[in-house]
Structure 1
Amino acid sequence: MGMDKNLLLQKFAQTLDSALITEISEKGIFKSFKKDDIIIDIHQTLKFIPLLLTGDIKIIREDSDGNELLIYFLEAGDTCTMSLTCCLGTTKSKIRAVAEKDSTLVMIPVENMQKWFHNNESWRNFILQSYQIRFDEMLEAIDSLAFMKMDERLYKYLKNMAMVDGTKTISIKHQDIAEDLNTSRVVVSRLLKKLENENKIELGRNKIVMI
């Protein structure tokens, strides 16, 4: 539990008060996930909300044919407000949360989340700020779908991925990018070559370097 509390302090000391961090370390369930593990699935009834301690998570929507579309990424210190909405009501999850890399989370039971929202100012502020951040990111996703050409969407996706990972070298397969952007691997490969010719990226084997 000591290590778990240390992780909480590292990621949330600037956001949540110390008494609440202690309570989270006692009431929360700490879980680890491997890359590509599904953390929350579509239509799942949620009895917890996740706080991300280490790693990255991608939040995905799916259509009736099983085509996926990336909505946004979560980084350490974030929570998923789409799961908050489901927990506060009685609806089932409308998103899929997938580990982008090996990740550690603490799962907050719904009853604690609701209680803290009413009686802890730091938690309430954290939740409301999270809503605002995710709302802005979803507007960005809508804008990119509506207004950006696929090569612009691809370059924006790569920049976001590099920012989340904190590196200029992105290890990813063309097929994985295609699935996130709901397009074909052939289109992704062609547009990556175009970006390389424009000196925006360098292509390697299953890796992309941002210039």
Structure 2
Amino acid sequence: MITETNNKEIYLPLLEQKFSKELSEEIIQFPILEFPAKLMLGVEHTKVKFFPIVIKGSIRVIKFDSAKNELLLYNVEKLESCILSITAAMRDSYMQGVAFTNEPSAMFAISNEKASEWMQKYDCWRKFVVDLYDQRLGELINQHDVVSKQKDEIYIQKKEITDSINYAQRIQHALLPPNEYIKTLLPDYFILFKPKDIVSGDYYWLSQVDKKIIVAVADCTGHGVPGAFMSMLGISTLNQITKNKIDFHANNILNDLREQIKISLRQSSSESESKDGMDMALMIFDFKNNVLEYSGAYNSIYIIRKGQLIEIQPDRMPIGIHINDKNDFTNNVFYLEKNDMFYAFSDGFVDQFGGNPTKKFMSRKLKHLLLEIYTKPLNEQENILEKTLENWKGHNEQTDDVTALGIKII
């Protein structure tokens, strides 16, 4: 029998182990559904009507193979959710598995609309969903040897992983600044964004603080799912650092970002520690006073003025643990003039293999290309860069994620 519980405040301490107090108080506004043991909760190919958060007991999620044998996908424990239910709920699609209670269990039933709203509103909710995808993807991948023996199971597994990564792509794109917002802040620009896989380890970020426009192009360790998780961490941390700041400089933002990334990744000076991190070019445009500040972690920027290309060099250290991570990043100041063109790239463009004989594109070739196209309209510049990259790549695989940003001063 299914019952609805009214005494929900007792679960606040439990919820606050995972979520913020504000979000926990929103969660308890939703009904708690209680289920007896060994009850089927979700039937395959049916619509999912809510986003579950388990607060008591546990639930197993399974598939059946062609011989009707039960294949365990994962167990959903306390303060966890079912990733197949999340995917189906968010996409308004059908459940791709079957769920049973292992024991008497209870869950909050969050509406699909509210779950989507929280993705924008709460960092802890986004982290909960992203961490859950990471955990479930690991569990699904660990079962590869089991399902690989039968063709049907391989197809099912691949589809579920791909569906999960496709939804991770939607989350990542939701965190990138939309074009409508960028157009309100930058006079004339283009962004070329070409992930190597479904999701990207590159990202671009933009914000306005005290009438100054902060723009960043970043390249995280790795690509695909691992790189995407790093990119989400970078975006979230930049938002926190710049929130409500009034007096700031480009190098201070990189200094703060490096410290926060090291804390988040639990990096210390130990040689055995993870060297994960990110390279970045960060610019602050003060259009009122015609001043640019730039600070770089391995990523330089190019400026073209009246036919002359200037490369402002970055510091040779990343956002993350490094032998020189006690040193401050350099703050470079540049005065703006009308028709100046600014470019920032991740290393995916210059590292792309192609040509005959096969070799990297390299920065010298990129600089010559920019000098040829910088006077053209920016949408045309973007198209030329993309076409040049594709022609160079030919039949080769894309080497890495590619991001290119161009900004014109008008």
Q: 1:67 to 1:126 in 2, by over 3 A?
A: same
Deviations 1:119-178 (A, max 9, x none): 11111111111110011111112234449xxxxxxxxxxxxxxxxxxxxxxxxxxxxxxx
Secondary structure class of the residue paired with 1:128 = helix
Q: In the TM superposition, what is the alpha-carbon distance from 1:24 to its structure 2 partner?
A: 0.8
Deviations 1:73-102 (A, max 9, x none): 111111111111111213200011110011
RMSD: 1.9
Look up the equivalent residue of 1:14 and give its one-letter code: Q
- 2:19–2:124 Cα contact (<8 Å) kept: yes
Q: In the TM superposition, what is the alpha-carbon distance from 1:16 to its structure 2 partner?
A: 0.6
Task: Spell out the pairing of 1:183-198 with structure 2 (5 A cutoff).
Answer: none
Q: In the TM superposition, what is the alpha-carbon distance from 1:65 to its structure 2 partner?
A: 5.3
> Which of 123, 129, 132 matches 1:130?
132
> Which of 8, 11, 16 matches 1:7?
11
Which residue is equivalent to 2:43? 41
Aligned length: 145
Q: Which runs of 5+ in 1 are unaligned?
A: 148-211
Q: Which runs of 5+ in 2 are unaligned?
A: 150-410
> Which of 30, 50, 53 matches 1:51?
53
Distance 1:42 1:97 in 2: 9
TM, length-normalised to structure 2: 0.34
Which residue is equivalent to 1:69? 71
Distance 1:65 1:145 in 2: 13
Distance 2:142 2:55 in 1: 25
Task: Spell out the pairing of 1:196-207 with structure 2 (5 A cutoff).
Answer: none
Q: Which protein has greater RCO, CA pairs closer than 8 Å, 6+ apart? A: 1
Which residue is equivalent to 2:31? 29
TM, length-normalised to structure 1: 0.64
- 1:52–1:78 Cα contact (<8 Å) kept: yes
Q: In the TM superposition, what is the alpha-carbon distance from 1:6 to its structure 2 partner?
A: 2.0
- 2:6–2:32 Cα contact (<8 Å) kept: no
Distance 1:97 1:87 in 2: 15
- 1:48–1:87 Cα contact (<8 Å) kept: yes
Pair member with larger Rg: 2
- 1:72–1:137 Cα contact (<8 Å) kept: yes
- 2:56–2:106 Cα contact (<8 Å) kept: yes
Q: In the TM superposition, what is the alpha-carbon distance from 1:67 to its structure 2 partner?
A: 3.3
